[in-house]
A and B are shown apart, each in its own frame.
Chain A
Amino acid sequence: MRKSKMKLAGILLTALLLVLMSACGSGNNAQNNVTATSTDGSANNDKPVTLTMMVSGTKAPDGQDFVLDIMPKLVKEKFPNVTLETSKLPDEQYFTSIRTKLASGQGPDIFWVFPRNASLGVLDMAKAGYAADLSDLTFWDNISQGAKEDMSYEGKPYGIAGGLDYLGVYYNQDLFKKAGVDALPQDWPSFLEACQKLKDAGITPITLADKDPWFIQFGMYQIASNVVYPDEMDFDTKLQAGEKSLTDSKWVETISRMKELYDKGYVVKNSLGLGSAQAAQLFVDGKAGMIFDGTWDFATLTAKGASDFTRGFFSLPANDPGQPTYVSAATAAGFALNAKSDNLSVAKEVMNYLFDGQSDLFKAWVDSNNSISVYKGVPLNHDLFKDVNDSYLNDGKSVYFPNQMWPTGVAEEMETKFAEIIGGKKTTPEKVTEAMDAKFKELWKK
């Protein structure tokens, strides 16, 4: 009697366990059932579909956030049966969590990818089979060719670029005037001269946030655009093929020019102790003449600080005298669709609606977008970028951000080693390039 009771207990327990385990699994099953029916159908049939979407970034400081508030609402209006669940994470957290989600087969239907080879770049995502081929979307004619290419793998688009970003120099026109810098510098010597004038007038010429290592890229890539690439646009292709190396004298020169700014005392003292928010604060408070940053930080750098002044924006003229200045421009991150999702066709319809060029959703997207639009007919969003934008459109002299052609990790190595230079260690530009090259060779596998 007792024995059988014990047995019963054992059996019950096992049963309970099985129920528990299957309960965990059934969440997926239920979802699959719903979605399975809608795979062949379109978003317009009545089966309820839940789409998930995850992007990186921070919530809009005031009012409605496009991704979090506006998009789910407008998608629901157009497709009553589609519920869009969106989330937004800061970059670092996004990188970590999206990779884990994709690898475990729990990836969101719509996610955010970066151009080419950047961290979480479209090439990696397409190669790993996570991003879907988007060739059959309807609006490709309206997206600029370059932006489409930057989001393509083997000739097919796998991501929809959010726009175009420029790296440049935000500057304080009032301080420039005060220091007697009348004309914008056109080449490297005149840029150094302008810095010297600012310094002599008791103004910190440049504020940089080197405590956030990635900030080092903002100056470095603009210099590289003018030193490494002008007469060798295919430098990175050769690099990948093993014909060139990052120890090339042109990269040494790039790093030396960046170093020059620190050696001559043009960069704010103790920049290694400043985070990006703090460095930006120095600029908006009128305590520094310039900051190297990208178009994406428009809102932060035009915020009202302790002093009122007129801002300007130009491409860092790291070119030699007599040479044109190249713009550092790159395709911004954008949407990709999960190739393994059962809701792929619905997600595609939502994308077609988002980029149809006339819907309220499209207009809201244009309004919220900080990048320069690559969509046909959309005007420039901020007048501040007009000069650089004109020179990009008219002269066609531009270079992408080098890290988009490197495997992730090389830029980080550059930042680590260059920080040693800033910190006054005996590291030479040659050593920096050697470390970058070693990292590149370790990570670049065909």
Chain B
Amino acid sequence: MNSTVMKKTMYFFAVPALLFYCIFWIFPILKLFQYSITDFNGYAQNFKYVGLSNFKDLFEGGTLGNSIKNTLIYTAISVIAGNLIGLALALLLNQNIKGKGFYRSISYIPTLFSAIVVGFIWSYVYMPDSGMIATLFAKLGLPTDNLNFLGSYSSALYSIIFVEIWKNVGTTMIIFLAGLQTVPQDLLEAGKIDGCGTWKLLRFVKIPLLATSITINTTLSIINGLKAFDFPFIMTNGGPGDSTNTLIYSIYKMAFTEQMFGKASALGIISFFIIIVITAVTVLTMNKKEVSA
């Protein structure tokens, strides 16, 4: 009857945590599903059930497609570029150079600021005419006429992606650095004896052994990218037009500016599934490729 491992009464100890989990996590999520089929406006409680028309509107309207497109671009670039730069930095700072600790700290500092601060600083860096980049260009005698990073349709999205990478590359680098410490010295020596150059050591020894770090970094940046909200919110308000509207930003705008909480809930559910599917697929594929030292 009684388990040899644990008395059944011990389960009572899980009740408080479970309760909190249900009240503050499970219940709101279920509520989201409920709201997604209503015309709830966020504050008046006399809402009506409207069936699946919220979802229908979303699939017919342009917002969903546009924000998925922006989110995917955001994610793809920040994952690929972020990881490449992070890896390069880690390899560089893993060498025996003078002031290694100093450089490592410097590269990690942007991560420590809050997104609000970073976004604000970069708005001024990007500002046309009197921003940092424009001033620099003017000093170098380059034309500054068309420097309008956040204000032009073609560059706004990429400009915020750059900031995202700039802010997060420190974390990526630290994880790669930690990974590099676990590469056994004897394997590297064996490689050298077998005649590997720097490139071959990297390609055939270090990178395969870094597979775990790569999985972690990629997963983290994918989740980060798919959830992108802070920088569009702080730096561009989703603009110009809707060119930097990401999924999460669209949800926010729909719910709190347009007061269409019901429709926003529907969009929330759609993006919930998108994020789950993309993350699951990547993690599963990458797990298969990992090797152990």
Contact = CB atoms under 8 A, between A and B. Distances in A.
Interface stretch (B72-80, B177-185, B194-202, B252-260): B252-260
B187 to A, nearest CB: 51
B153 A212 contact: no
Interface in A81-102: 92, 95-96, 99-100, 102
Contacts of B237: 211-213
A277 to B, nearest CB: 10
B208 interface: no
Nearest to A129: B44
B256 A272 contact: no
Interface stretch (B124-132, B168-176, B272-280): B124-132
Interface string A245-281: 0000000000000000000000001111111001000
A272 B9 contact: no
Contact of A422 (B12, B129, B149, B240): B240
A39 B130 CA distance: 58
Chain B interface size, as a band, is 35 or more
A445 B41 CA distance: 12
B57 A274 contact: no
B128 A269 contact: yes
B13 A274 contact: no
Contacts of B153: 420, 423-425
Give the residue among A7, A20, A273 with the most B Cβ atoms within 10 A: A273
A103 B42 contact: yes
Contact of B43 (A130, A269, A272, A420): A130
B132 to A, nearest CB: 13
Give the residue among B13, B127, B258 with the most A Cβ atoms within 10 A: B258
Chain A interface size, as a band, is 35 or more
Contacts of A92: 256
A273 B148 CA distance: 6
A425 B153 CA distance: 8
A45 B193 CA distance: 93
B19 interface: yes
Contacts of A271: 151
B285 interface: no
B257 A211 contact: no
Contact of B151 (A10, A14, A124, A210): A210
A253 B256 CA distance: 31
Contacts of B289: none
A100 B253 CA distance: 15
B16 interface: yes
Main secondary structure of the interface of B (DSSP, over half): loop
A10 B12 contact: yes
Nearest to A272: B151
A423 to B, nearest CB: 5
Main secondary structure of the interface of A (DSSP, over half): helix
A377 B57 CA distance: 52
A182 to B, nearest CB: 30
Contacts of B7: 6
A382 B238 CA distance: 36
A13 interface: yes
A190 interface: no
Contact of A272 (B16, B130, B240): B240
A14 B127 contact: no
B242 interface: yes
A274 B127 contact: yes
A295 B112 CA distance: 40
Interface string A288-323: 000000000000000000000000000000000000
Nearest to A16: B16
Interface in B118-176: 123, 126-130, 145, 147-153
Contacts of B242: 416
A194 to B, nearest CB: 23
Nearest to B235: A211
Interface in A58-90: none
A445 B50 CA distance: 13
A158 B31 CA distance: 32
Interface string A399-431: 000000001110010001101101111000000
B239 interface: yes
A128 interface: yes
A119 interface: yes
Contact of B258 (A9, A409, A424): A409
A137 interface: no
A24 B153 CA distance: 50
B241 interface: yes
Interface in B242-278: 242-243, 253, 256-260
A17 interface: yes
A99 B239 CA distance: 25
Contact of B256 (A13, A96, A420, A423): A96
A275 B123 contact: yes
A102 B43 contact: yes
B236 interface: yes
10 contacts: A7-B9, A9-B12, A10-B9, A17-B19, A95-B256, A99-B42, A211-B239, A270-B128, A270-B152, A419-B240
Interface of B: 7, 9-10, 12-13, 15-16, 19, 39, 42-46, 57, 123, 126-130, 145, 147-153, 236-243, 253, 256-260
Which A-B residue pairs are the 6 nearest by beta carbons? Answer: A273-B151, A272-B151, A409-B258, A270-B148, A270-B128, A128-B44
Given A272-B151, A408-B257, A419-B239, 17 more contacts: A9-B12, A13-B12, A99-B42, A99-B256, A128-B43, A128-B44, A272-B240, A273-B127, A273-B152, A275-B123, A407-B259, A408-B259, A416-B238, A419-B240, A423-B153, A425-B241, A442-B57
